[in-house]
Every structure is written in C-alpha cells, then in structure tokens.
Amino acid sequence: MKERFLFNKGAMKKILVVEDARYMSETIAMMLEESYEIVGVAVNGREAISKYKEEKPDLVTMDLVMDEVDGIQAIREIKRYDPNALILVISALGSPEQMEEAMEAGADEYLWKPFTVKIIQEVVEKLLSTR
C-alpha cells in the first residue's frame, strides 16, 4: 500500500485539451506536456464530455466557440457529471459576456488568447494546487 501511494504521488497529473483549432491544441499540449500528462485532445463539446468520462483528467482546458456542442454546454455537462472537475477556459472569440457565462456555468478560471507559456503554466499550476 505504501509503495502504491508513493507511485501515485509521483505520477503526472492528467490534462484534457478541448480546442478545435489544431495548431492551438498542439501548442497547448506542447506547453504543458513536460509537467503533465496530456490524455487527449477533443475538438468539440461532445468529444470533451465523452473523453472526460473515459480519462477522468485532473484538469480540462476548454475552448468556448466550437462546432456542435460548444464550450459552455460542455462545462455544464462535465460539472453535472463531476462537480469536482477543474476547468480552465481558454478562448479568443469569446466576448467578456461569454466568459462570464462560462464562469457561471462552472468554469474555475479563464485565460484570454493570445497567451504565453509562462501564463498558462502559472494558471494551471495554481489551479491544480487547490486540489
């Protein structure tokens, strides 16, 4: 038991990237993969929900404007499934009103695009340290 505990402690925290722009999702993954395990990339809200259920990631980075199920719907759905889910919204197209809506839907923090590696690493670390 003790050994398993140690193993778990050393394991990387898991992150699910939800982003429909390929270069952007790849970039977010590149920025976070040294310190975290990227368990998948979802390109819309529907995929985000199913991948969340499969992978149970420690944190989700969530785009807002996407085809089919959008980010706000996905946030609601994920939070309903797991109220402890940790969701970081990363959006460029979202207006301040949409960001507010996302926070009301249950998002834990938001980040405006464009952002730098320093900012995303700081925000992700801060969010995960609360758990």
Partner 1 sequence: MAKTKILVVEDEGIIAKDIGNRLKDMGYIVPAIALSGEEAIKKAAEIQPDLVLMDIILKGGMDGIDAAGQICTRFNIPVVFLTAHTEENILQRAKLTEPFGYIVKPFEERELHTAIEMALYKYKMEEKLRQTYEKLKELDKMKTNFLNVAYHEMRSPLAPIIANVSLLEQGDFTAKQKRSVHIIKKSAEQLEWLINQVLEVTRIDAGKVKLTLESVSIPEIVTNALESLKPLADAKKQAICIDVSERLQIEADERKIAAIFGNLASNAVKYTGKKGRINITVADRGEDVVVTIADTGIGISEENMPRVFERFFMVDTSLTRRGGLGLGLSIVKEYVRLHGGKVWATSELGKGSNFSFSLPKKQKHVAI
Residues that bind partner 1 (CB under 8 A): 21, 23-24, 27-28, 30-31, 92-93, 95-97, 113-118, 120
Q: Of the two residues 13 and 113, which places its CB atom closer to partner 1 in the complex?
A: 113
CB of 23 to partner 1, least distance (A): 4
Q: Of the two residues 116 and 129, which places its CB atom closer to partner 1 in the complex?
A: 116
CA-to-CA dists, residue 17 to 4, 6, 40, 95, 97, angstroms: 28, 27, 6, 21, 23
Give the integer Cα–Cα distance in Å for 104 and 23: 28
Q: Indicate the helix (H) or strand (E) that contains 47.
A: helix 45-55
Written as one letter, the residue type at 66 is: M
- Helix-strand-coil percent breakdown of the chain, rounded to 5? 50, 20, 30
CB of 131 to partner 1, least distance (A): 25
Q: Of the two residues 87 and 91, which places its CB atom closer to partner 1 in the complex?
A: 91
CB of 15 to partner 1, least distance (A): 16
CB of 88 to partner 1, least distance (A): 14
- The SS3 of residue 43 is coil
Q: Of the two residues 44 and 49, which places its CB atom closer to partner 1 in the complex?
A: 44
